[in-house]
Amino acid sequence: MIVYLLCYLAAVLFARTQYYLLSGTALLFAALVLFWREKRRNGGRVNLLALLSLFFVGGEGISCLKLSRLQGPWELQTFAAFFLAYGAFRLAFLFSGGREQDSRRVREGRLTEIRAGRLFVAVAGLTALSAAAFLAEVRILGFVPFLVRHMPHAYSYFHVSGLHYLTVSCVLVPSLALLYVNVVHHRSTVTNLGLLAAVAVSSLIPVLCVSRFQLLLAVLMAAFTWLNFRREPIPAPLAGLGLVCLLGVYGILSMARGHSVSYLNGIFEMKRNFPIFVSQPYIYIANNYDNVNCLIRELPSHSFGLKMLFPFFALTGLKFLRPELVNFPIYVTKTELTTVTLIYDAWYDFGILGVVLFMALLGFIAARFEKNLRSVHSPVFCMLYAQLAIYLMLSFFTTWFSNPATWVYFGETAFVLWFVGGKQQWK
């Protein structure tokens, strides 16, 4: 924490004197040091605290570089909010015993009593449910986003309330199929073909929806599930091939959305003429922190819990009966760039106190997940852990826990966890 505090003070000082490159560099250095030290203290394993350290603090450092004209000076309250957000998470995580107690202990496990047949049923059932919901949306809305042209926001329009949550449930299928392959070693040809078909269909749906994020989430969740379950790195050739394929599909989906390079560069307003593969990732990280600053500067009054209760209002249908419960303006630097960080809604509800309490609670939950992973009772728990890990890794992007889809994913995975059963025994 001392390194973090000193680097943060330096970053604030440099930012107030408009030495933005030095300000960003100080925070990037802090993120790398925090990540490396936490990984080393945890026996070489990347835990949830290490992920938040690298990506949340690192994202803040990238934002502080101020490479876009959209970015202006931050309020002191903004710096305080980000500093306390990470500090509250870290302290809650450590005090709750989230770090590995014996980093020297190498554990190998075997699975027993798992209902393998039920796991296959979960793979097939979730695939069928997602495909049926997708086809229903196509029939109701009358188009497939990937097949339409000159509609830059086709994915935003491809949405039937309630039904779309089932459509995007396909992101869970690759992880479940991966678990089945690792648990059941003697499989018939029919079973293997069924698994391949399920993964193919579940991967095709995000492509047809031109949803880059859903595809990215499916891949990341499968990778994190592998790492947590096998407790070994993904083979380098497989990881490299997956990365190349993912980047290729990502580019295709970007073109399918109809966003030209000139259109995107016009929105990003970069200070220098960076290539699009630099400016797009930069703005998708950096501007999110400036949107928080915009909120802190312009918000007239807090919503006192209503903003973060949006998933409850959405999933229960109350948002249709009482629209005023969810009708809150969004404060951003530019209307086309609406992504925000993890703490946006917490500030919206209760200000800096909301940020501290929310991140402390999240740190406590993350510590519980770490403890449960050490004595996991089912392989499906690795999926739950993987989801939380992804949300913390992408903490610079949006308010994951104010998104109904997040809770749908957690709920579906928890149901599969109960449905499959099984125990983990360490030897």
For residue 426, list its beta bridge partners: 109
**Which two structure tokens, joined as six digits, stand for 343?**
């703490």
What gap in Å lies between CA 345 and CA 400, rounded to an integer? Answer: 10
pLDDT of residue 143: 86
Spatial neighbors of 172 by CB under 8 A, at least 6 apart, are 126, 218, 221, 383, 409, 412, 413, 416
Domain that holds residue 227: 114-262+381-395+408-426
- Complete DSSP assignment for 148-205: --S-TTHHHH---TTHHHHHGGGGGHHHHHHHHHHH--S--HHHHHHHHHHHHHHHHH
Say yes or no to pLDDT of 150 above 50: yes
- Return the structure tokens found at 2: 């001392």
pLDDT at residue number 246: 58
C-alpha to C-alpha distances, 127 to 63, 117, 123, 135, 293, nearest whole angstrom: 39, 16, 6, 12, 41
Per-residue pLDDT band at 250 (split at 50, 70, 90)? low
pLDDT-derived band at 100 (thresholds 50, 70, 90) equals low
* Residue 424 confidence class, pLDDT cut points 50, 70, 90: very low
Percent of the chain with pLDDT over 90: 56
Q: Does any domain span residue 93?
A: no
Given CA atoms 60, 64, 67, 71 in this order, what sign does their dihedral have?
Answer: positive
Can you give the pLDDT at residue 423?
54
* Per-residue confidence band for 281, with pLDDT thresholds at 50, 70 and 90: confident
Label residue 230 by pLDDT band (50, 70, 90): confident
Question: 112 pLDDT band (50/70/90 cuts)?
Answer: very low
Average pLDDT of every residue of the chain: 86
pLDDT digits (tens, 9 = 90+) for 309-353: 999 999 998 998 898 889 999 999 998 888 999 999 999 999 999
Letter string b/e over residues 38-51, b meaning 16 or more CB atoms within 10 A of that residue's CB: bbeebeebbbbbbb
Please say if the pLDDT value at position 268 is more than 70.
Answer: yes
- In which band, very low, low, confident or very high, does the pLDDT at 42 lie, cut at 50, 70 and 90? confident
- The confidence score (pLDDT) of residue 380 equals 86
In a domain, 276, yes or no: no
Cβ proximity of 86 and 71 under 8 Å:
no
pTM for this predicted structure? 0.89
Q: Which amino acid is at 31?
A: A
pLDDT at residue number 106: 38
pLDDT digits (tens, 9 = 90+) for 235-244: 666 666 666 6
Contact 212, 168 (CB under 8 A): no
70-82 burial, b if ≥16 CB within 10 A, otherwise e? bbeebeeebbbbb
Q: What is the pLDDT of residue 427?
A: 37
CA nearest to 351, candidates 10, 39, 158, 75:
75
pLDDT digits (tens, 9 = 90+) for 64-86: 999 999 999 999 999 999 999 99
With 50 as the cut, is the pLDDT of residue 264 above it?
Answer: yes
- 55 domain-assigned: no
128 in a domain, yes or no?
yes
Average pLDDT over residues 377-406: 91
Instruction: Specify which residues 110 forms β-bridges with.
Output: 425
- Position 123 in a domain: yes
- How many Cα atoms occupy the beta-carbon half-sphere of 270 within 13 Å? 19
Question: What is the count of structural domains for the chain?
Answer: 1
Note whether residue 69 is domain-resident.
no
Residue 309 CB-density burial (10 A; 0-12 exposed, 13-18 middle, 19+ buried): middle
Question: Residue 319 domain-assigned?
Answer: no
Please report whether residue 311 resides in a domain.
no
